[in-house]
Amino acid sequence: MARYIGKRIIYMVITLALIATFTFFLMKILPGSPIASADKLSPEQRAVVEARYGLDRPLPVQYFEYMFGLVQGDLGISINQFKGAEVTDVILSRMGPSAQIGFQGMLLGTAIGILLGMIAALRQNTWVDYSSTIVAIIGISIPSFVFASMLQYSLGLKLGWFPVALWKDGFMSSVLPSIALAMFPLATAARFIRTEMIEVLGSDYITLAKAKGASGSEIAFKHAFRNALIPLITVLGPMAVAILTGSLVVEQIFAIPGIGEQFVKSIMVSDFSIIMGTTIFFSVFLILVILIVDIMYGIIDPRIRLSGGKS
Amino acid sequence: MTQNYENLPQGSFDRIPRDTEQAERISKPSVSFWQDAWRRLKKNKGAIFSLILFGLIVIMALLGPVISPYEPNDQTITHANLPPKIPVIENLGIFNGVGTLGGKEIDLYEMKNVEQNYWFGTDGLGRDMFSRVWKGTQVSLFIAFAAAAIDMLIGVIYGGISGYFGGRVDDVMQRIVEILTGIPNLVVVILFIMIMDPGILAIIIALTITGWTGMSRVVRGQVLKYKSQEFVLAARTLGASDGRIIWKHLMPNVLGVIIINTMFTIPGAIFFEAFLSFIGLGLQAPDASLGTLINDGYKLIQYQPHILAIPAFVLSLIMIAFNLIGDGLRDALDPKMKD
């Protein structure tokens, strides 16, 4: 186990270094200068500005400075959008709303999804099962931005139950975006739990529990459900990816001051340092989530000693 | 029952001798793997329905822009922002050209003196949504199919070589894949789109740059599984070359998972294309894909919801159809599920 974790962490570091190197040089090749209205400045003024931000030094020096900064959690400074603010501060200041809708979406989605999947498995091949399958297919198929705009139009604009956009009404503002983000985890969890439950319900120890005289609900909750829940950890990774991807557009749609919205805005105005910083931040987040999920799974279910990584 | 035996007419029955040769006879025509899979797929109503639905969408994507009297990019400013109006169906009270203007329900066609019917309405520049939606569907499907085909090609070759040759080759190739899969797809796609000129080609390249790793892993796993089995050993003993073993013996076995994987790559690619367009990294105007149409429509959601609703509906239909077809094919092709 320890060897496995060690190996995974080494890979993680290599991957992150590659991503950082790649983004750094990418931003350098991209056309355009990070300095706003660079053409209007005289060569002397330009030199002053470049010296101020360390852009006058040779590329390798800049690269190593950037990498050293990264290790210490310094993502550089935003030159054109925030007039010299630290990228790390910009990202941190916008983490709150993103984290809130992400968590709420994840919790809501998995909770309802687990419930749906369980009912579907216990009432297999009934209308309950079929409708839960339909919900799952719809949730997996329809992109979150389509959901988000549908919710915004119907519940926000037409019915007026929730604020249409902006982050002004506290929890109420977070409801619609959370629902939009919840659809994918909901569908994934419902599908997954259904399959797992059906498999578990057919196993020998369930027959034994029945023979022993355990009641239906006791079997469903105590025996079947618990065992069906463990493998759900494996889909947490894809769920996190989906929520993060979704948050870029959902935050945009609902005008939420989160990281995703900032990222999209930075792409539009080509604020390279913010793009770079956010890219690295997203990468670290996703890679960590997947690493933690894999390790957790190995600890919780000793039958799978993560030999899967090799073969 | 027993007393009736005497009443049975003589000669109605022949005695059948036990025939050892007949016992081994195959009484039904043998069913190939693909026929078997097709039979199972036919039983899956959702998959068959989706297949038909998808066929219709493809036909519309190809024919739609042709049968529409308007070009997708022709602007008629006086006809801007018209709601959908379809003859016959308009009598049902939907698609009748009635829209809200200043809070009042009003037939906008009458008001603007428009003689023609725009089946899906028009957008803010007076372009016909019917031809734009189907043209956009065409572009989206093209991007998705091209990306899936390239993913498949690279993935199969890479995974095949890695799995078949094994040893050090496999080790090195797998380390590369492990690092590549570690990079979040989202990040790679966005970064690549930024360095390339926006357009169909850029999106396809961005989608395939790491997209093939999933396919290569699946193919490698399957090749590893099959290459150590007896039929491969037998072929090798008989002097078959590596190429022959790969193409004639391994490929047919791996084909099932390749198809299943591709069927799930396509909706993924359609989603990413729409996603990129939505955050402003997609096709540039006046080119349209479903993603850019949704993005344009979103800006007018409050006043002209049809401009968003129609492409979003088509996109959702394609995604649902593909997921159902993929599910059906997985159940039909996966030998583990065989009962």
ipTM of the complex: 0.76
**Lowest mean pLDDT across A127-131, B58-62, B115-119:** B115-119
Q: Is B169 on the interface with A (CB under 8 A)?
A: no
Q: B194 CA to chain A: closest CA distance, Å?
A: 8
Which candidate, B37, B47, B43, B45, places its Cα nearest to that of B320? B47
Residue A56 within any structural domain of the chain: no
Tens digit of each residue's pLDDT (9 = 90 or more) over B52-61? 888 888 888 7
Q: In this predicted structure, what is the pLDDT of residue B150?
A: 92
Testing the interface with B: which of A7, A19, A146, A271 to mutate, by most B Cβ within 10 A?
Answer: A146
Amino acid in position A306 = L
- Chain B residues close to A244, C-beta within 8 Å: 184, 186
- Chain A residues close to B289, C-beta within 8 Å: none
Amino acid in position A175 = V
Give yes or no for residue B152 having a pLDDT over 80: yes
Residue A182 within any structural domain of the chain: yes
Question: What percent of chain B has pLDDT above 90?
Answer: 1
Interacting residues of B42 by C-beta distance below 8 A, sequence separation 6+:
B48
The pLDDT confidence band at residue B116, using thresholds 50, 70 and 90, is low
Q: In this predicted structure, what is the pLDDT of residue B276?
A: 84
Interacting residues of B195 by C-beta distance below 8 A, sequence separation 6+:
A26, A29, A30
Residue A200 within any structural domain of the chain: yes
> Cα–Cα distance between A278 and A37 in angstroms, integer?
24
Locate B76 and state its tokens: 């008629």
- DSSP single-letter state for residue B113: T
Give yes or no for residue A246 having a pLDDT over 50: yes
Contact B281 A267 (CB under 8 A): yes
Q: In this predicted structure, what is the pLDDT of residue A306?
A: 47
Contact B191 A146 (CB under 8 A): no
Which candidate, B314, B307, B332, places its Cα nearest to that of B126? B307
> Cα–Cα distance between B214 and B181 in angstroms, integer?
8
Give the domain extent around A187.
96-255
Tens digit of each residue's pLDDT (9 = 90 or more) over B269-282? 888 888 888 777 77
Give yes or no for residue A36 having a pLDDT over 60: no
Q: Provide the domain count of chain A.
A: 1
> Cα–Cα distance between A20 and A17 in angstroms, integer?
5
Q: Which of A140, A146, A157 sits opposite B323 (nearest CB)?
A: A140
Q: In this predicted structure, what is the pLDDT of residue B24?
A: 73
Most confident of A211-225, A242-256, B146-160, B215-229: B146-160
Residue A274 within any structural domain of the chain: no
Whole-prediction pTM? 0.78
Q: In this predicted structure, what is the pLDDT of residue B337?
A: 47
Amino acid in position A288 = L
Contact B280 A137 (CB under 8 A): no
Residues 228-287 of B with CB under 8 A from A: 267, 271, 274-275, 278-281
- Chain A residues close to B202, C-beta within 8 Å: none
Locate A129 and state its tokens: 């099962």
The pLDDT confidence band at residue B106, using thresholds 50, 70 and 90, is low
**Lowest mean pLDDT across A87-91, A112-116, B324-328:** A87-91
Interacting residues of A215 by C-beta distance below 8 A, sequence separation 6+:
none
The pLDDT confidence band at residue B12, using thresholds 50, 70 and 90, is confident
- Chain B residues close to A290, C-beta within 8 Å: 182
A75-84 b/e with 16+ CB inside 10 Å = b? bbbbbbbbee
Q: B135 CA to chain A: closest CA distance, Å?
A: 20
**Would you mind telling me the total number of residues written for chain A in this entry?**
311
Locate A74 and state its tokens: 């310094």
- A84 or A276: whose pLDDT is higher? A276
Closest chain A residue to B280 measured between Cα atoms?
A: A268
A56 C-beta neighbours (distance < 10 Å), count: 14
Give the three-class secondary structure for B198. Answer: coil
Do A45 and A39 form a contact (C-beta atoms < 8 A)? no
Amino acid in position B277 = S
Averaged confidence pLDDT in chain A: 77
Contact B320 A11 (CB under 8 A): no
B48: left (phi over 0), alpha (psi -120 to 50) or beta: alpha
Q: In this predicted structure, what is the pLDDT of residue B82?
A: 67
Give the three-class secondary structure for A134. Answer: helix
Give the three-class secondary structure for B225. Answer: helix
Residue A162 within any structural domain of the chain: yes
Give yes or no for residue B339 having a pLDDT over 60: no
Q: Residue A142's domain is classified under what CATH number? A: 1.10.3720.10
Tens digit of each residue's pLDDT (9 = 90 or more) over A258-269? 888 888 888 777
> Cα–Cα distance between A280 and A286 in angstroms, integer?
10
Give the three-class secondary structure for B335. Answer: helix
The pLDDT confidence band at residue A307, using thresholds 50, 70 and 90, is very low
Closest chain B residue to A146 measured between Cα atoms?
A: B312
Residue A203 within any structural domain of the chain: yes
Q: Is the peptide bond before B83 cis (omega within 30 degrees of 0)?
A: no
Place of tokens 């945009």: A252
Q: In this predicted structure, what is the pLDDT of residue A311?
A: 32
Which candidate, A235, A273, A236, places its Cα nearest to that of A90? A273
Q: Cα B286 to the chain's mean position, in Å?
A: 26
Which candidate, A191, A244, A201, places its Cα nearest to that of A226? A201
Residue A173 within any structural domain of the chain: yes
Do A279 and A190 form a contact (C-beta atoms < 8 A)? no
Residue A141 within any structural domain of the chain: yes
> Cα–Cα distance between A258 and A265 in angstroms, integer?
11
Closest chain A residue to B46 measured between Cα atoms?
A: A134
Helix, strand, coil in percent for chain A, rounding step 5: 75, 0, 20
Give yes or no for residue A18 having a pLDDT over 70: yes
pLDDT average, residue stretch A293-304: 72
pLDDT average, residue stretch A25-52: 68
Locate B165 and state its tokens: 């040759």
Which candidate, A104, A129, A246, places its Cα nearest to that of A191? A129
